[in-house]
Structures are given as structure tokens and as C-alpha cells.
């Protein structure tokens, strides 16, 4: 097979090609690549293997040029998971060799992968996360039956308290989500993603029909919201936010159940809950309540200067979270706009 580095945005039929791969998700689409490029000025360097002029395998990679974190390749930035797509098995070591050759030629400091390499030759430990995937094909009745009893009670409680869920795939929905996201990120001691990113996400994915925004409404006020993305029979819970003053109403439980029901009725095959850090016990407990299959996701980073795999997982909490949680919203928003493109 012939290997080359390509830009998916140069191919008007890219997403149609992705549908030919059963495991392709929204993260493999041109729309996601365009969102990352427009919001953060990343450059696509997708590794592609061709067999008789047909795309046989592909690994998405974005080049990040940053004076803070260096020039590096990431597969992919701000993406929960990004497995290699292939019609014919290609050893991970062979794939990484090709990508590493390209990275060296581009002067990359590191190459980061998310779900591609499982067992590096030198035995370095990967950065691990939990993932949860729900099979939607059994239908709503069976899906409800496999939900943990406490989660079902929370769904019923939210309904009885008068919370209802609406879909708002429009500017109003985006505005409400961004408002709650700002509050939630500060509660967690983290800066919010830049507003430009969410507007690019809306323009490239949600408005064209590859995503949805759900809002939890209580007494006319939006108290919870979530963004879901979908493609090729696979849906993912990408972002969630809520007003903690209304936490007792369990709107997030009802919101998640309404999303699962909607995707199940549309014959979407799988529902992915995204990645979860092992130390985030609250979120982990929430995701374990839906009867999904739990697995692990491994992030690896190859350091070109050391010619070895390294582990470099950013701590979820620390002095920075204490500082961010006390910032006024306008200052926290500015931090996010400045820092995010360097993080990837």
C-alpha cells in the first residue's frame, strides 16, 4: 500500500468515503477537521494508505504550532478518541513508523495518539481514561430496564419536579449552552473553551444536521444543557453543562435519557459517553448508571527528541483549579481564549 499525507478538506467527497468505514465517527469527518482548523488554526496532516487508488486506511492528525507547547502532531486535538480506520489490518507499529517519519520531517516535538497505540515497545505506561459505550439497537424498553435503579429514580424525580427537555439546534440553544458551560467550567476550576470554537462547531456540525443541542427547562429557565454529535450510526455525548443551584432536580439525568431515546428511535447504533478521568469519581458514577460497556482509552505521546514514548497527563486538579474557580467570568473567558489553542 502507498502512504501519503493528505488534507481531508481538499476532498469534497471525504465524508462519503468515511461512511465506507464502519467504525468512522464524527471525529473522522471533514466537518470536525474544519472546526478544529477554523477555531484554532490547526493544520490537517492526515496519514492515508491507498490500495489501487482506494483509501484503505487513515489516521487523522493535526499539526499544532505553538510558542508555548512547541510544534507537534496530535491525533486529534480536543477529541475524546480517534482510532485508526482500516479495511485491512495494519500493525500499529507500521502506522506509527510512517507518521513518525513525517513528524520528523516537519520538525514536530511530539506525536500524540488517542486510541491508536496500545503497547509501546519500550513498556512506557500510557495515560488512561475510562470510556462507556451503549448499544442502542435493543430499543428503548430494554435500554430503560438496564439503567441502574437510582438513575431511573433520578429521571422520574426530574420529570415530577417539572423539568422538561427541548431541542434547540439554533443560536438560542447555543447561547444557553455557552452560558451554562461558563458556569460549569468555573465550578470545576477550568477555563471555558473559546466561544469561537462553539460557533465553528455549530456552523460545521450542528446546523448541517450532525449534532444536537438539548436544554433542560425548569419554570421557564434553562438549568442544564448538552451537546451531542453523530455520524455514521455513532452518537457521542460531547459537552454537558448545568447550573449547580438546581442540581437536586437531576436535570442531567433526564436530559441524557431523552438523548438516548432520540438516538435509539433514529436507529443510531451506538451512544458513546466520552472519556472520563479515573479521579473524576462523580462523573464516572453518573456514566456507570446507564448500562453501558466500560472500557479503557489509552493516550500515548512519542517524544522525537528522546526517541521514546512518554507519559504526560495533565492533572485534573491542583493550584490552577483553585485559581480559576475564583476568577470572575470575564477573566476566565479571556484565559480560555488565550490558552486553548496551545493546549490541543
Name the pTM for this structure: 0.92
- Domain 2-126+298-343 shares a fold with domain 130-296: yes
**pLDDT value at position 324?**
81
**Contact between 35 and 7 (Cβ < 8 Å):** no
CATH number of 130-296: 3.40.630.30
**pLDDT value at position 26?**
98
Query: In the structure grid, which three cell numbers stand for residue 147, read together?
Result: 439503567
Range scoring the smallest mean pLDDT among 99-108, 119-128, 230-239, 306-315: 119-128
CA–CA dist 44, 21 (Å, integer): 20
- Tell whether the model's pLDDT for residue 55 goes beyond 60: yes
Residue 122's closest CA among 98, 101, 96, 86?
Answer: 96
Contacts of 184 (CB under 8 A, 6+ apart): 240, 241, 242, 244
Per-residue pLDDT reduced to its tens digit, 178-205: 999 999 999 989 899 999 999 999 999 9
**Contact between 58 and 24 (Cβ < 8 Å):** no
Residue 230's closest CA among 252, 253, 257, 208?
Answer: 208
CA–CA dist 116, 314 (Å, integer): 20
**pLDDT value at position 284?**
94
CA–CA dist 321, 325 (Å, integer): 6
**pLDDT value at position 268?**
96
CA–CA dist 195, 185 (Å, integer): 13
**pLDDT value at position 308?**
83
Per-residue pLDDT reduced to its tens digit, 71-123: 999 999 999 998 899 987 777 778 888 999 999 999 999 999 887 644 444 44
DSSP classification of residue 124 = P
Where in the chain are the domains?
2-126+298-343, 130-296
CATH 3.40.630 for the 2-126+298-343 domain, yes or no: yes
Amino acid at each position: 500500500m502507498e502512504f501519503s499525507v493528505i488534507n481531508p478538506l481538499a476532498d469534497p467527497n471525504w465524508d462519503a468515503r468515511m461512511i465506507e468505514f464502519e467504525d468512522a465517527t464524527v471525529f473522522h469527518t471533514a466537518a470536525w477537521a474544519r472546526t478544529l482548523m477554523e477555531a484554532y488554526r490547526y493544520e490537517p496532516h492526515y496519514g492515508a494508505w491507498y490500495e489501487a487508488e482506494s483509501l484503505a486506511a487513515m489516521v487523522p492528525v493535526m499539526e499544532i504550532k505553538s510558542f508555548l507547547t512547541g510544534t507537534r502532531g496530535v491525533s486529534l486535538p480536543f477529541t475524546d478518541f480517534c482510532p485508526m480506520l482500516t479495511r485491512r489490518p495494519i500493525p500499529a507499529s507500521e502506522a506509527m513508523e510512517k507518521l513518525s517519519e513525517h513528524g520528523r520531517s516537519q520538525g514536530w516535538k511530539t506525536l500524540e495518539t488517542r486510541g491508536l497505540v496500545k503497547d509501546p515497545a519500550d513498556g512506557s505506561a500510557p495515560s488512561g481514561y475510562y470510556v462507556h459505550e451503549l448499544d442502542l439497537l435493543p430499543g428503548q424498553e430494554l435500554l430503560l430496564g438496564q439503567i441502574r435503579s437510582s438513575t431511573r429514580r433520578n429521571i422520574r424525580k426530574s420529570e415530577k419536579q417539572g423539568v422538561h427537555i427541548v431541542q434547540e439546534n439554533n443560536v438560542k440553544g447555543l447561547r444557553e449552552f455557552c452560558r451554562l458551560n461558563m458556569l460549569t467550567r468555573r465550578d470545576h476550576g477550568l477555563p471555558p473553551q473559546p466561544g469561537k470554537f462553539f460557533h465553528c462547531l455549530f456552523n460545521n456540525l450542528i446546523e448541517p444536521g450532525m449534532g444536537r443541542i438539548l436544554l433542560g427547562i425548569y419554570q421557564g429557565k434553562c438549568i442544564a444543557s448538552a451537546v451531542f454529535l453523530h455520524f455514521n450510526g455513532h452518537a457521542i455525548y460531547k459537552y454537558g453543562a448545568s447550573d449547580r443551584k438546581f442540581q437536586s432536580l437531576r436535570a442531567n439525568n433526564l436530559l441524557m435519557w431523552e438523548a438516548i431515546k432520540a438516538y435509539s428511535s433514529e436507529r443510531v447504533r451506538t451512544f458513546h459517553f466520552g472519556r472520563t478521568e479515573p479521579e473524576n469519581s462523580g462523573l464516572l458514577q453518573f456514566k456507570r448508571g446507564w448500562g453501558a460497556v466500560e472500557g479503557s482509552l489509552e493516550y500515548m505521546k512519542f517524544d522525537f527528541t528522546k526517541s521514546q514514548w512518554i507519559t504526560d497527563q495533565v492533572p485534573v486538579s491542583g493550584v490552577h483549579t483553585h485559581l480559576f474557580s475564583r476568577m470572575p467570568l470575564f477573566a476566565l473567558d479571556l484565559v480560555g481564549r488565550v490558552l486553548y489553542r496551545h493546549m490541543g
